């Protein structure tokens, strides 16, 4: 059953997440087993059977979040999805998953969401921070820095970076206690790879997502938790403008990407098969960021 997280009170002190590190044991120095290779931590498989996964920003049926939730459910995960509007319940019914409504820029609502997901599904082991990508209802602010208001700047940073910080902080303590977890943050090629005039706030936020990803990966590496980022280029979603789709036609592949193609990359990084990958950014842009000149 899908419930709203909005307005609920959190039982957690979200400003002080409980991070309990596992004690790593091993042979004593100088023992005969010291030079033996460590065994594989887990099977190399894409399956997520029984794992609880939360995908944020999954309100659009044509978006990356929705496609990711679908793929994770197909891999056996018990999936929860969240967005800022009640349309998330329609998406949840379509996917056969659990939907929540919450403003992920609000610290208290993120805490309430964490409690609600734990109560209905169990502790989150896979987190996909997809919330923040622009939509028709909440378009990206396109304005030169000289004309950008402080409120517009803060709005882009909060929507694209603060959401990833708050959600990650809400769940990393539990992941560390259990000794396993996956976090995948949605960055973008804009910011970490390139940029265009008038999108400084968005580019800064997405570059910040990569910085957060790398720092958190190093903090969690001893706890069996991997943290990675996926950076899509031009992807054909319901929010795509005509200009963006034309840009996609100019990529080396010759077309925009699809949400399913991005979701496939996200799902791999969420899986046990990606256990030796952390702190990385995987670019999904049809080769656009590596070419030296335009193809004819």
Interior angle at CA 210, CA 42 and CA 123, nearest 5: 45
Give buried/exposed letters for 108-136 (b at 16+ CB in 10 A, else e): ebbbbbbbbbbeebebbbbbbbbbbbbbe
Return the structure tokens found at 70.
């679908």
For the chain, strand residue ranges (E) read 52-56, 78-83, 98-101, 126-129, 181-186, 225-232, 281-284
Angle at 240 between CA 69 and CA 202, to 5 degrees: 85
Q: Which of 66, 150, 202, 276 is catalytic?
A: 202
Q: Is 202 a catalytic residue?
A: yes
Q: Which residues of 151-176 are buried (b: 16+ CB within 10 A; e: fewer)?
A: eebebbbbbbbbbbbbbbbbbbbbbb
Q: Measuring CA to CA, how many Å separate 146 from each of 55, 108, 149, 159?
A: 35, 33, 8, 21
Rg (CA), the chain: 19
Alpha carbons 180 and 247: distance in angstroms, whole number: 39
- Residues with a catalytic annotation lie at 202
């Amino acid at each position: 059953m899908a419930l709203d997280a909005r307005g609920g009170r959190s039982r957690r002190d979200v400003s002080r997440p409980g991070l309990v590190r596992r004690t790593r044991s091993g042979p004593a120095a100088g023992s005969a087993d010291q030079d033996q290779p460590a065994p594989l931590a887990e099977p190399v498989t894409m399956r997520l059977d029984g794992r609880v996964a939360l995908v944020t920003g999954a309100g659009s049926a044509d978006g990356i979040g929705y496609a990711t939730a679908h793929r994770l459910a197909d891999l056996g995960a018990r999936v929860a999805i969240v967005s800022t509007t009640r349309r998330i319940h329609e998406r949840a019914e379509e996917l056969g998953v659990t939907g929540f409504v919450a403003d992920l820029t609000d610290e208290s609502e993120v805490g309430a969401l964490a409690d609600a997901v734990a109560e209905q599904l169990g502790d989150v082991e896979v987190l996909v921070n997809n919330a923040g990508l622009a939509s028709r209802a909440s378009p990206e602010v396109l304005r030169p820095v000289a004309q950008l208001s402080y409120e517009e700047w803060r709005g882009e940073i909060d929507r694209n970076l603060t959401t990833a910080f708050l959600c990650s902080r809400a769940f990393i303590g539990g992941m560390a206690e259990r000794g396993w977890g996956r976090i995948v943050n949605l960055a973008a090629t804009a910011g970490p790879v390139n940029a265009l005039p008038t999108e400084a706030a968005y580019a800064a936020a997405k570059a910040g997502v990569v910085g957060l990803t790398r720092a958190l990966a190093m903090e969690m590496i001893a706890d069996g938790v991997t943290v990675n980022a996926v950076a899509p280029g031009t992807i054909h979603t319901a929010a795509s403008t005509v200009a963006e789709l034309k840009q996609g036609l100019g990529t080396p592949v010759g077309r925009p990407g699809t949400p399913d193609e991005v979701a496939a990359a996200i799902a791999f990084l969420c899986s046990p098969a990606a256990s030796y990958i952390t702190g990385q950014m995987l670019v999904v842009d049809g080769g656009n960021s590596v070419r030296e000149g335009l193809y004819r």
